[in-house]
């Protein structure tokens, strides 16, 4: 009987590890301070220009946390917050928020047609690739590649990021370079429309 229990516990441990290196339960203990800005479970930020963290993807979240900690991605509002955290703490936080459900926002109905066309088909004339190719038609992202889920994210935050990629202000690493290239081809009107559309996507 003892052997059987040990076997079951070991099996559970291995399955949990197979999902990634982070431990969501350990992450929860460090997540209280995050709720002050990102909301409970990272699902309801206090401002539209702040991101939801829920369900964005463990690999993506971990990469952003290391970039924020090292200031390669400079976020003034988060100054000092990650300073005393170990690499394991960041992995645990990523696992915690990745496991929470995204609470979807609502798109402006007037922008859905334009936003959806760009998201699904890109803009052939100006060389914008379809967002769906990397971020999934449902906005769920691509976890193995570390491409973030976008569906349901705050529109104001998305607008801010697309402009930051376009201006070269958000430029940490090779994945950001992919988005700098995409965003360099987007007009302000396209950014508004696709961001609104994505905020209601799920």
* Interaction residues for ligand HEC, span 148-167 (CB under 6 A): 148, 150, 158, 160-162
Instruction: Tally Cβ neighbours within 10 Å of residue 178.
Output: 14
Residue 43 contacts ligand HEC per CB under 6 A: no
Q: Least separation, in Å, of the C-beta of 145 and ligand HEC?
A: 7
Residue 100 contacts ligand HEC per CB under 6 A: no
Residue 98 contacts ligand HEC per CB under 6 A: no
Cα 107 to its chain centre, rounded Å, is 18
Distance CA 118, CA 60 (A): 23
Tokens of 166: 């376009």
Residue 135 contacts ligand HEC per CB under 6 A: yes
CB neighbour list of residue 123: distance below 8 Å, 6 or more residues apart = 185, 190
Distance CA 32, CA 148 (A): 23
CB neighbour list of residue 72: distance below 8 Å, 6 or more residues apart = 172, 173
Residue 193 contacts ligand HEC per CB under 6 A: no
Q: Out of 107, 155, 194, 201, which residue is the one contacting ligand HEC (CB under 6 A)? A: 194
For ligand HEC, the closer of residues 95 and 162 by Cβ is 162
Residue 64 contacts ligand HEC per CB under 6 A: yes
Sign of CA dihedral 201, 161, 73, 144: positive
For ligand HEC, the closer of residues 12 and 113 by Cβ is 113
Tokens of 148: 């973030």
Taking only Cα atoms into account, the Rg of the chain, rounded to an integer number of angstroms, comes to 18
Using CB under 6 A, which of the segments 8-16, 17-25, 104-112, 126-134 binds ligand HEC? 126-134
Binding residues for ligand HEC, rule: CB under 6 A, are 30, 33-34, 36-38, 50-51, 53, 56, 61, 63-65, 75, 77-78, 81, 93, 118, 128-129, 131, 133-135, 147-148, 150, 158, 160-162, 175-176, 178-179, 182, 194
């Amino acid at each position: 009987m003892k052997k059987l229990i040990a076997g079951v516990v070991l099996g559970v441990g291995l399955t949990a590890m197979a999902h990634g290196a982070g431990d969501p339960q350990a992450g929860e203990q460090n997540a209280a301070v995050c709720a002050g800005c990102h909301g409970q479970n990272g699902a309801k930020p206090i401002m539209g220009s702040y991101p939801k963290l829920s369900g964005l993807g463990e690999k993506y979240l971990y990469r952003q946390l290391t970039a924020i900690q090292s200031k390669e991605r400079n976020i003034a509002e988060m100054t000092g917050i990650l300073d005393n955290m170990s690499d394991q703490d960041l992995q645990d936080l990523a696992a915690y928020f990745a496991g929470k459900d995204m609470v979807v926002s609502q798109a402006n109905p007037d922008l859905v047609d334009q936003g959806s066309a760009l998201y699904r088909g890109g803009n052939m004339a100006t060389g914008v690739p379809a967002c769906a190719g990397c971020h999934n038609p449902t906005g769920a992202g691509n976890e193995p590649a570390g491409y973030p889920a976008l569906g349901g994210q705050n529109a104001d935050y998305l607008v801010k990021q697309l402009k930051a990629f376009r201006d070269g202000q958000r430029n940490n690493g090779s994945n950001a370079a992919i988005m700098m290239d995409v965003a360099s081809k987007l007009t302000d009107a396209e950014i508004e429309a696709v961001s609104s559309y994505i905020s209601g996507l799920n």
